[in-house]
Amino acid sequence: MNDKGKGGKIQFGNSAYMPKEEHLETAVRFRRISIGIPSDASDDEKRVALTPESVNLLIESDNEVILQKGAGLGANYTDKDYSENGAIITDSPARVYGSDVIIKVAPFTEKDTDYLKGNQVVFSYLNVLKLSEETLSRLIRKKVTAIAFEKIRDNNYVLPVVESMSEISGITSILLASDYLSNHHGGKGVMLGGITGVTPTEVMILGANTAGEYAAKAALGLGSQVKIFDSSLQRLRKFESMAGQRLQTSVFHPQVLKKALKSADVVIGAIELDDLKPWYYITEEMVRTMKKGSVIIDLSIDRGGCIETTECRAMKDPVYEKHGVIHFSAWNLPSRVARTASIAFSNIFAPMLQKLADSGGITHLLKNDPGLRDGAYLYNGMLTNETLGQKFGVLSKDLDLLLSAF
């Protein structure tokens, strides 16, 4: 039977008689980790990485979860919800950031790094475009292993965080467009969709990916005419078979694009851009030709945007007008439906954190999980992300080579 000794470590009654190798293997297998959830709750970020139910699962597996007071309020989870599921609630950021693993939604800031004790594992969004050199330098000095939400892949080589947030973004973008077309926000006063005897609104979507797919489904469900543009004929064929006759598809032919823009009521930018390589499929001059009161929502704004007139704005101030066209431009659109997004995060990260606890350490897990390895941009304070290296003029190292030494 197991006892808990000093410091909460598990002690085995017959451990003194175990061969050394077996004793070490058992200790690693049952190693407990502490998980810190800092408060990101603000006007700009409402999501939380773990729900109370997920916290309960982790604690039932003998892990410790420390939550900063108010961390779940943006998603309508109270401190009591978490405490009733076993979490430790604290006002002290240092206590939270002193955990073995820290998981937060918003990218790390300079202030966040001050609380880190060092040699820890941190999970968060990276957001290459907004990361400052000073923040990266501090993470390096703290010798952390840092994992970027948006870079993690699963066993099917899919980006699970990106996919789940893209689903939310696609649907939410159409609901937002409907709102801003109405009189309520000073729009042109039309209904997104169509009714008998009234010409339906036209929705134009750039990108036949997950976000584009869910935006198209939502728009078609409301009765809109939908036009999809993409560079891949294979993805366009998939869309056509999914939606039927009401969906029009085209590759990015300049003349076709310009003609569609002139009659579009809504434009959704859903292009998957490479980090630090914005590419404007719609120029400012093309936006000038759009109907007054039409709406643009660029879902790729966190990677530079695919529409020249869009700006990366905070969620508290995401709307502006340019050339008579209403622009909604916030990098973290799923934060508008924070509870749904938080549940989606938990479905991904709770099993991942338990896997980390079971593996006995991040090095072992990274060696055996290529998808998580793709998400690592720092390993023990060493930069392993080539894009960040190019941005800041720092030589990045090959993570596979670093891990081969262990």
Query: What is the DSSP annotation of 96-152?
Result: HHTSSEEE-SSPP-HHHHHH--SS-EEEE---TTT--HHHHHHHHHTT-EEEEGGG-
Residues 8 and 76 in one domain: no
The rounded distance, in Å, linking the Cα atoms of 28 and 308 is: 52
pLDDT (0 to 100) of residue 9 = 40
Residue 390 CA to residue 190 CA, distance in Å, equals 46
| Together in a domain, 178 and 300 | yes
- Please say whether the beta carbons of 268 and 240 come within 8 A: no
Compute the CA torsion angle 307, 310, 316, 320 (nearest 10 deg): -120
Domain that holds residue 24: 1-30
Kind of pairing, strands 376-379 and 382-383? antiparallel
| pLDDT score for 277 | 64
**Residues 297 and 177: beta-carbon distance below 8 Å:** yes
E strand intervals along 235-351: 247-250, 266-269, 295-298, 319-322, 325-328
Nearest C-alpha neighbor of 205 from the set 243, 179, 152: 243
Residue whose entry in the numeric block shows the structure tokens 């039927």:
244
In this structure, what token pair is assigned to residue 19?
A: 């061969």
> Same structural domain for residues 366 and 281?
no
Residue pair 36/102 in contact by the 8 Å Cβ criterion: yes
- Report the number of distinct structural domains present in the chain: 3
Structural contact between residues 203 and 228, judged by C-beta atoms closer than 8 angstroms: no
Structure tokens at 8: 């909460």
Q: CATH code at 384? A: 3.40.50.720
Q: Are residues 25 and 42 in the same domain?
A: no
Chain segment 295-342, per-residue pLDDT in tens: 999 999 888 889 999 998 888 889 999 999 999 998 889 999 999 999
Residue at a domain's end among 329, 350, 365: 329
Local structure of residue 15 (DSSP, 8 states): G
Collect all residues with Cβ–Cβ distance below 8 Å to 311 and sequence separation of at least 6.
Answer: 301, 305, 320, 327, 329
In this structure, are 8 and 47 located in the same domain? no
Strand 145-148 versus strand 376-379 pairing type:
antiparallel
Does residue 92 sit in the same domain as residue 174? no
Residue 39 CB-half CA count within 13 A: 20
Summarize pLDDT for 165-206 with one digit per residue, the tens. Answer: 999 999 999 999 999 999 887 788 999 988 888 999 999 999
Indicate whether 279 and 144 sit together in one domain.
no
Q: Based on the domain organization, do 313 and 360 belong to the same domain?
A: no
The confidence score (pLDDT) of residue 304 equals 82
CA dist 89 → 20, 50, 208, 393 (Å): 38, 14, 43, 41
Q: Which long-range contacts (CB under 8 A, 24 or more apart) does 187-192 make?
A: 187/293, 187/295, 187/326, 188/265, 188/291, 188/292, 188/293, 188/294, 190/265, 192/219, 192/222, 192/224, 192/265, 192/266
Q: Are residues 146 and 218 in the same domain?
A: no
| Same structural domain, 199 and 269 | yes
On whether both 20 and 116 belong to a single domain, the answer is no
**What is the predicted pLDDT for the residue at 96?**
98
Which residues, at least 6 apart from 190, have a Cβ–Cβ distance to it below 8 Å?
A: 181, 182, 201, 265
Give the separation between CA 406 and CA 403, rounded to whole angstroms.
6
Say what the pTM is: 0.87
For residues 189 and 95, membership in a common domain is answered with no
What single-letter DSSP state applies at residue 282? B
Residue bearing tokens 């392993």 = 384
Q: Domain boundary at 282, 302, 329, which?
A: 329
- Would you give the distance in Å from CA 143 to the centre of its chain? 24
End-to-end alpha carbon distance in the chain: 33
Domain boundary among 299, 329, 359: 329
> Do residues 335 and 341 lie in contact, with contact meaning Cβ atoms separated by under 8 Å?
yes
Segments of the chain with pLDDT less than 70: 1-31, 41, 243-246, 275-278
Three-state secondary structure call for residue 65: strand
Tokens of 229: 């543009």
Residue 75 dihedral angles phi and psi, to the nearest 5°: -100, 15
The reported pLDDT for the residue numbered 130 is: 84
